[in-house]
């Protein structure tokens, strides 16, 4: 199965539960950017509760007419410092924050121009954290519906393995989320409760960073 998805900024752990079952990844590279989605934000848990971290983009008001792969990050705002300080405050005492911190920080300080490139670098890092070596490709055009399967040769898979599971806009921080297909899994049921830094109740739907900082190399056991 090939998982078709948009790129997220530190996506929810549920995405990686799906990736653990996938044979390859097809990233949507030709969609129009959409505001108020996980494309430029993530959710973490702090002492004050769940908090969004949002990457500002240039010309956000017109961004909906721009290809996601062309959206530029607005570095006029000191968002990297804010995000990093928030992550340090929320997770600095978690068991595995220091284990991953330098790898994350190295990507931040590179300051990629494009949001797509920033998210792609973080995705590649997170795949390594979960020891996932999946073939990864970008879409060649935007198709609202995928009724055919990608080239088996491109992914190096059999025909049965290369069937597409369209998970675009499956994960969203908005309450009025797009209706999913009947065979799409419920995101909240894909991640088993694990000990979180700020409890005692379990908060689903957080960024995968919350799971990694808590469980480290054992994170996959909760997916």
The ranges assigned to domains in the chain are 2-218
Task: Answer for the pair 165, 4: CB distance below 8 angstroms, yes or no.
Answer: yes
Helices of type H across 1-96: 13-19, 79-91
140 has pLDDT over 50: yes
Tokens 């989605």 belong to which residue? 37
- Which H helix or E strand runs over 164? strand 164-166
174-215 confidence digits (pLDDT tens): 754 444 555 667 787 899 999 999 988 999 999 999 999 999
Three-state DSSP at 1 gives: coil
116 has pLDDT over 50: yes
Q: What is the pLDDT of residue 17?
A: 96
Q: Where are the beta strands (DSSP E) in 16-69?
A: 24-27, 41-46, 49-54
Distance CA 80, CA 207 (A): 17
Q: Is the dihedral of CA 129, 134, 140, 141 positive or negative?
A: negative
107 has pLDDT over 70: yes
Q: Is the dihedral of CA 53, 70, 75, 123 positive or negative?
A: positive
pTM of the model: 0.91
Q: What is the pLDDT of residue 150?
A: 58
Work out the angle at residue 110's Cα, subtended by the Cα atoms of residues 106 and 116, and round it to the nearest 5 degrees: 105
Distance CA 14, CA 122 (A): 16
The pLDDT > 90 percentage for the chain reads 78
185-196 confidence digits (pLDDT tens): 778 789 999 999
What mean pLDDT, rounded, does the chain reach? 90
Pairing of strands 2-5, 164-166: parallel
């Amino acid at each position: 199965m090939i998982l078709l998805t948009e790129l997220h900024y530190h996506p929810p752990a549920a995405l990686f539960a799906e990736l653990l079952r996938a044979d390859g990844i097809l990233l949507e590279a030709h969609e129009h950017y959409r505001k108020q989605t996980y494309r430029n934000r993530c959710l973490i848990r702090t002492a004050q509760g769940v908090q969004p971290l949002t990457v500002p983009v240039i010309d956000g008001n017109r961004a909906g007419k721009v290809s996601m792969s062309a959206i530029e990050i607005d570095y006029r705002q000191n968002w990297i410092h804010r995000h990093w300080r928030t992550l340090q405050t929320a997770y600095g005492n978690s068991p595995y924050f220091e284990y991953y911190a330098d790898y994350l920080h190295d990507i931040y300080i590179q300051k990629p121009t494009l949001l797509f490139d920033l998210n792609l670098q973080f995705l590649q890092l997170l795949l390594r954290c979960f020891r996932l070596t999946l073939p990864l490709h970008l879409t060649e055009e935007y198709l609202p519906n995928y009724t055919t399967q990608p080239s088996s040769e491109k992914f190096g898979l059999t025909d049965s393995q290369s069937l597409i599971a369209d998970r675009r806009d499956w994960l969203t921080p908005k309450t009025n989320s797009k209706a999913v297909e009947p065979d799409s899994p419920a995101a909240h049921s894909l991640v088993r409760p694990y000990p979180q830094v700020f409890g005692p109740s379990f908060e689903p739907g957080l960024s995968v960073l919350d799971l990694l900082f808590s469980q480290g190399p054992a994170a996959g056991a909760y997916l």
